[in-house]
Amino acid sequence: MSAPMLQLQDVVAGYGPVTVLNGLSMEVQAGSLTALLGRNGVGKSTTMKAVMGLAQVKSGRILFDGRDITHCRPDERAALGLGYVPQTRDIFPSLSVEENLVAGLKRFPSADLEQAYALFPRLRERRRNRGNQLSGGEQQMLSVARALLGRPRLLLLDEPLEGLAPVICQELLEAFRQLANEGGPAMLIVEQQVQEVLAFAQRGVILERGSVVHQSDCAMLRTRDDILDRYLGMAIE
Ligand SMILES: Nc1ncnc2c1ncn2[C@@H]1O[C@H](COP(=O)(O)OP(=O)(O)OP(=O)(O)O)[C@@H](O)[C@H]1O
Ligand SMILES: [Mg+2]
């Protein structure tokens, strides 16, 4: 098997004196969809922040394409091909959809914009609306579309379905599937809607108190009510 695209090796990380990740080791394979699961506060967002250079890594290593990025700046990681949609969407409320999409890009990416609009037709319809005039679902689509314009090879999605109506969840998941089928980026997804994400991803990694307590294929995990109940507190029906 080829080397993993992303590797976290025994990562201890947190914020100043606070340690959140306690020797976390996990991998994401190229071209794969991986779900990162766990109860509130176990360190899912911190794992993504550590990968993006937004949490402090105290020991351990993070490798991307075999290259040690543990001490790279966030913008260097983005340039290497890491895209990130944070849990708190980071769109500009006073800029239009289209201005949000092109903000920070050096050239006007017409072809890429077309692709983003093809993936999210709602954004095309609302391209002149300001960020603060969008619904929650549209803001999420905008945040995802913007991350995609950076042409990442690995996209980190922190609770992309949070607070969305079921029909919009399906729309977003369908867009992600389409991306994956078209040879788009590998994805690491944090999601509380466990059934949805287990049906979507191939590999599941479960965290508890800042380290990995279980990982297996999602197809297997879907059948393991005992594991889902123990680590995610999902009531067995
Ligand atoms: N900037 C910060 N400074 C100090 N502590 C933080 C900071 N951000 C998060 N924490 C703490 O780190 C722990 C893990 O937080 P994290 O956001 O990684 O959890 P999570 O698994 O994403 O949870 P959720 O499911 O609620 O989003 C929590 O106890 C949280 O209070
Ligand atoms: Mg979180």
Q: Which of 224, 161, 150, 230 is nearest to 193 (CA)?
A: 161
At residue 166, the pLDDT reads: 86
Task: Indicate whether residue 2 lines ligand 1 (CB < 6 A).
Answer: no
At residue 115, the pLDDT reads: 85
pLDDT, averaged in runs of 10, over the chain (237 residues)? 90 97 97 96 98 97 97 94 89 93 76 87 94 89 90 94 85 88 93 92 97 96 94 75
At residue 163, the pLDDT reads: 80
Task: Indicate whether residue 115 lines ligand 1 (CB < 6 A).
Answer: no
Considering the domain 6-89+154-232 in this protein, what is its CATH number?
Answer: 3.40.50.300
At residue 116, the pLDDT reads: 87
Task: Round to whole Å and give the CA distance between 234 and 228.
Answer: 6
Task: Indicate whether residue 199 lines ligand 1 (CB < 6 A).
Answer: no
Task: Round to whole Å and give the CA distance between 157 and 159.
Answer: 6
Distances (CA, A) of 98 to 105, 117, 150: 12, 10, 15
CA of 114 from ligand 2 middle (Å) equals 31
At residue 180, the pLDDT reads: 86
Residue nearest to atom 17 of ligand 1 (CA): 45
Residue ranges of domains in the chain: 6-89+154-232
Residues whose Cβ atom is located within 5 A of ion ligand 2: 44-45, 87
Q: What are 126's two structure tokens?
A: 């609302």
Residue nearest to atom 29 of ligand 1 (CA): 41
At residue 217, the pLDDT reads: 97
DSSP secondary structure letters along the chain: -PPPSEEEEEEEEEETTEEEEEEEEEEE-TT-EEEEE-STTSSHHHHHHHHHT-SEEEEEEEEETTEE-TT--HHHHHHHTEEEE-SS----TTSBHHHHHHTT-SS--HHHHHHHHHH-HHHHHTTTSBGGGS-HHHHHHHHHHHHHHT--SEEEEESTTTT--HHHHHHHHHHHHHHHHTT--EEEEE-S-HHHHHHH-SEEEEEETTEEEEEEEHHHHTT-HHHHHHHH-PPP-
At residue 149, the pLDDT reads: 87
At residue 37, the pLDDT reads: 97
At residue 235, the pLDDT reads: 64
Q: Which of 18, 47, 189 to mutate to test ligand 1, by most ligand atoms within 8 A of the CB atom?
A: 18
* Ligand with smallest separation from the Cα of 207: 1
